[in-house]
Amino acid sequence: MFAIVLPVILHLARSSNVAYEKLFDEQEIIKHLLESKYSNYDWRVRPRGRLGAADDEDYDNEPVIITVNMYLRSISKVDDVNMEYSLHFTFREEWVDERLYFNSPTLKHIVLSPGQQIWVPDTFFQNEKDGKKHDIDTPNILIRIYNGTGRILYSCRLTLTLSCPMRLADYPLDVQTCVVDFASYAYTTKDIGN
């Protein structure tokens, strides 16, 4: 009995030690990436958009490539009188910010809290009539930075009411095509691409 318990205790001790090392590693990485006394990171400045050598001529002239995807959770209403519809979805954006590059032997990624400020795209929905970000019990936002790449995943849960110009001439056999129209609020295609 004693011989069986001892290996289990040693395994548990090693497992908790590895978990502690990962937690400590994650805290140290976040501190060095974002805290002003360790870093000169400015979340208000757009990243260059890719990892590369600073002596590359086009390095500063390239747009940040942002990949966007949406996971549609539900369509809650289609209102033909007001020509609008409502969606509940998860909105994800990915891009590279070389300033947040890190290399860790133990972590695949780190997760930031919504209060930790990093540069994020200024995406807005052009045909939005009303909208909300979900925040019950906590803000439904994920910010993940991947090890060894500087790649960032920003994900949030949204409910939007969007306008949709409907053509009802063929009612009741009509088919409507409604779009989700989003864009950058301040940046041009020279700054941000997809």
Q: What is the pLDDT of residues 120-167, one digit of tens each?
A: 999 999 999 999 999 988 999 999 999 999 999 999 999 999 999 988
Nearest by Cα to 23 from 31, 33, 13, 12? 31
Compute how many other C-beta atoms are within 10 angstroms of the C-beta atom of residue 21. Answer: 13
* Preceding omega of 7 cis (within 30 degrees of 0): no
pLDDT tens column, 78-130: 999 999 999 999 999 999 999 999 999 889 999 999 889 999 999 999 999 99
Query: Which pLDDT value is given to residue 164?
Result: 94
What pLDDT does 5 receive? 44
146 and 174 Cβ atoms separated by less than 8 Å: no
Count CA atoms within 13 Å of residue 72 on its CB side.
7
Q: Is 67 a residue whose pLDDT tops 70?
A: yes
Strands 109-112 and 141-146: antiparallel
State pTM to two decimals.
0.80
Distance CA 188, CA 64 (A): 11
- C-alpha to C-alpha distance for 154 and 144, rounded to whole angstroms: 7
Which of 45-49, 57-61, 131-135 tops mean pLDDT?
131-135
- The pLDDT value recorded for residue 87 is 96
Spatial contact of 163 and 84, defined as CB atoms under 8 Å apart = yes
pLDDT at residue 9, as a whole number = 41
Average pLDDT over residues 11-36: 66
Farthest CA pair distance, the chain:
82
Average pLDDT over all residues of the chain: 84
- Rounded Cα distance between 126 and 71, Å, is 19
CATH of domain 64-193: 2.70.170.10
Query: How high is the pLDDT of residue 2?
Result: 44
Residue 113 tokens read as 């809290």
